[in-house]
Amino acid sequence: MRSQQTESNSNAMTPRRPRASRRRGVTHPLLLVVSAGLAIVVSPAAALQDRDASLPVTGITLYRSGVGYFERQGTIDGDATVRLRFDAEQVNDILKSMIVLDRSGGRVGGVSYASNEPLERRLGSFAIDLSNSPRLKEILDQIRGARVRLGVPDGDLTGTILGTEERRQAVQGGQSVLADYVNVLTGTGLRSLPLEQVRTFEILDEALKAELDRALAALASNRADRIRSVDVDFQGRGARDVFIGYVHESPVWKTSYRLILPDASEGGQPTLQGWAIVENTTDDDWRDVRLSLVSGSPVGFRMDLYEPLYVERPLLPVPAAAMLRPKSYAAGVSRFATDESSGDMRQMRERRLMDAAPGAAASMPRRSVSADDMAAYAPGTQATGGEVGEVFLFTLDEPITIERQQSAMVPILTSAIEGRRVSIYSGQERTPHPMRGVELTNSAGLDLMPGPISVFDGPAYSGDAIIDHTPRGSDRLLSYAGDLAVRASVEDRGENRVERISIVDGVLIRSTVTRSTTTYTFRNTDEQRPRTMIVEHPVHNGWSQVEGPDPTERVNAALNRYELTIEPGAEQRLRVTFERSEAQRFTILDTNPANLIARFQQDRMPQEVLEKLQEAARLRAAVADAETQVHRLAQERSSIEGDQSRLRENLRVVDRQSELHARYLTRLSEQENRLETLHEEQREAERLVQERQEAYRAFLRNLRAG
């Protein structure tokens, strides 16, 4: 729980540091005024006679980013100290943001607070180190040389601790274990006794005993004390006005609205009432506080300024040569980009008043609260709105009181607002019924913060809606209930058609058009009241509308809104058609033209394109025939060369004078003659392939058709 309060020095929970000093005729400034704030610079100090002062909270500004700016101001007389108490988690924010002003001739003597040094480091600074939860043996080792009184079974033993040791001693079963012994130098000599026999342990050295008491007190303080004190010293003469301001974490203030729709028979505009929900989670009562509520979200972060920071330094040997000096590096800077993009510009529309709307049924009993009573039920607005820089600010007209750990609802807006009743249907969700809603134009003269809206149709509660941040003059569409009197259905129909097939520079281009038609059908079963229907139709990337009414509003690139009126008991349709054009490209040189003819002939290919493709297919076939001939000749040559290897191998082993040897020689001679012929034929076939390929490429190079 966050807490803060002002109290006297008598209730201090943390040790005070020495106060700032001021010698006669000499001043030591402890605070440097920088712009609107102060940078705290502590200097040596001496004792100073001062008086405690209370500085109440007088102003609070709450932000929607989870922080609050608190102002304390009042009058002090002479030298005074203001003690503020905060939760330990808030001290970092206080150290980061506090400003202190003495505006009537005095000066700030200093700002002091208890250190938040890590517990382990604090415990390690005492003569007896308890940081690692030491055992009795380890404590005795730490106080070697100190006089102690030990309670043992045969009486008290007084002496000086020499140290501890481990000894192996026998146990039952013939085994042995290690046992701890303490060695004590007494008046009668050295005694060594098992540590397990020590029942009591008293340190006789008062200074060492005090160190142990302080270490134990530090343990208890760290466990129980989560409140930290920050003392602000003011120095001066006479009565003076002083000011302290700081930022720390606070709950986000919230808004909720009531929208009262007028009776249809009387006409008029809706009434919007806004409430701010503020929570005081501190331990201070906010009494007669000036409260401001800001819509903006300033950049905020947390930084641990309270925890002492220690840097690990290496231990280096004394260098024989010149030492390298430490190097200072500039701090990095984070750059925050602001997204200034906005949605599509909406078309300016004439502001419309309420259209026909369902009122209270004649058969319903008379209500004790009328629609006019509902529109004026809230107390008068207690806040004034205005712009401060880039944010919108609500400032309560009168001081407010909120007790500690309490919350409050404060009316910040009561205004007539332009709007009309509508029914809303989403083409993405496609529910059986549309939603009952209202279209509002923010004519209230101030920005509307995000929040829930409870809708009342006259005196009757009708449902809940939610509104986003709405600048002045902008429109918002809200839905708060299902419109069960209107039935909706949706039908989709799609088709694909080939728009054109052509050839450009040897590339076949197949242009297609995909068409999607959506038909919305609405049936108004209410026999007395019409409906103004707003249909939200999704738009996919790359599609454009070609049929149907123009949209009344384009929400963004992915959503259009259409409007139609449905008379009582009537049926109304909305049909919209969107198209998308696509082009497929096929490089004819890399594709068999015959395959293209077979694939796209059913698309009613133009005769000119068909003839060009057929000619290309003929030329491609001629190239293929020539390549086949080259391949056949290469295979024959390879076969002959393989057979020649076999014949030469046989000639080595066959008798030269035999008939078989003569036949092998004849066969080898015939094959050599055929190889010479094949060489000429293959060269001619390759030339023919190259010639036909050139002719094919030349034909496709500038080919155009369709």
3-state SS record for 173-218: CCCEEEEEEEEEEECCEEEEEEHHHCCEEEECCHHHHHHHHHHHHH
- pLDDT score, position 204: 87
- pLDDT score, position 648: 84
Residue 252 makes CB contacts below 8 A (sequence gap 6+) with 62, 63, 64, 65, 66
Q: Which two tokens stand for residue 258?
A: 């009531």
The pLDDT tens digits of the residues spanning 610-628 come to 888 899 999 999 999 999 9
Place of tokens 């986003």: 468
Asked if residues 466 and 444 have their Cβ atoms less than 8 Å apart, the reply is: no
The pLDDT tens digits of the residues spanning 153-196 come to 888 889 998 888 888 887 777 788 888 888 988 888 888 888 88
Asked if residues 542 and 580 have their Cβ atoms less than 8 Å apart, the reply is: yes
Longest dimension (CA), the chain: 145
**Does pLDDT of 354 surpass 50?**
no
Number of Cβ within a 10 Å radius of residue 68: 24
- pLDDT score, position 187: 85
Kindly indicate the confidence band of residue 51, based on its pLDDT and cuts at 50, 70 and 90: very low
Kindly indicate the confidence band of residue 592, based on its pLDDT and cuts at 50, 70 and 90: confident
Phi, psi of 277 (to 5 degrees): -105, 115
Residue 632 makes CB contacts below 8 A (sequence gap 6+) with none
Nearest to 490 by CA among 542, 550, 543, 430: 430
Q: Which range has the worst mean pLDDT, 101-115, 413-427, 438-452, 472-486?
A: 101-115
The pLDDT tens digits of the residues spanning 511-553 come to 999 999 999 999 999 998 899 999 999 999 989 999 999 999 8
Supply the mean pLDDT for the chain.
77
The DSSP element (H or E) to which 307 belongs, if any, is none
**Does pLDDT of 579 surpass 50?**
yes
Kindly indicate the confidence band of residue 373, based on its pLDDT and cuts at 50, 70 and 90: low
Domain 485-586 fold: Immunoglobulin-like (2.60.40)
Kindly indicate the confidence band of residue 65, based on its pLDDT and cuts at 50, 70 and 90: confident
Phi, psi of 311 (to 5 degrees): -105, 130
Kindly indicate the confidence band of residue 3, based on its pLDDT and cuts at 50, 70 and 90: very low
Evaluate the CA torsion angle 649, 653, 656, 662 in order and state its sign: negative
- pLDDT score, position 372: 64
* Of 78 and 39, the one with more pLDDT: 78
Residue 629 makes CB contacts below 8 A (sequence gap 6+) with 685, 688
The pLDDT of 47-75, averaged and rounded, is: 77
Residue 509 makes CB contacts below 8 A (sequence gap 6+) with 500, 501, 502, 503, 583, 584, 585
Phi, psi of 609 (to 5 degrees): -65, -40
* Of 7 and 560, the one with more pLDDT: 560
Q: Which range has the worst mean pLDDT, 69-78, 206-215, 306-315?
A: 306-315
- pLDDT score, position 114: 64
Kindly indicate the confidence band of residue 97, based on its pLDDT and cuts at 50, 70 and 90: confident
The domain 130-221 having CATH identifier 2.60.40.10: the answer here is no
The Cα–Cα gap between 444 and 472 comes to: 7
Q: Which two tokens stand for residue 488?
A: 């909706």
The pLDDT of 488-510, averaged and rounded, is: 91
Q: Which range has the worst mean pLDDT, 136-145, 388-397, 495-504?
A: 388-397
* Of 325 and 201, the one with more pLDDT: 201
The Cα–Cα gap between 359 and 137 comes to: 88
Kindly indicate the confidence band of residue 296, based on its pLDDT and cuts at 50, 70 and 90: low
* Of 85 and 9, the one with more pLDDT: 85
Number of Cβ within a 10 Å radius of residue 250: 23
- pLDDT score, position 389: 57
Nearest to 98 by CA among 209, 244, 242, 220: 244
- pLDDT score, position 391: 65
Evaluate the CA torsion angle 395, 397, 399, 400 in order and state its sign: negative
The DSSP element (H or E) to which 599 belongs, if any, is helix 593-600
Q: Which two tokens stand for residue 652?
A: 């080595």
Q: Which two tokens stand for residue 217?
A: 């007190």
**Does pLDDT of 310 surpass 80?**
no
List the chain domain ranges.
130-221, 485-586, 591-705
Phi, psi of 475 (to 5 degrees): -105, 150
Q: Which range has the worst mean pLDDT, 48-57, 319-328, 547-556?
A: 319-328
Q: To the nearest whole percent, how much of the chain has pLDDT over 90?
A: 18
Number of Cβ within a 10 Å radius of residue 415: 16
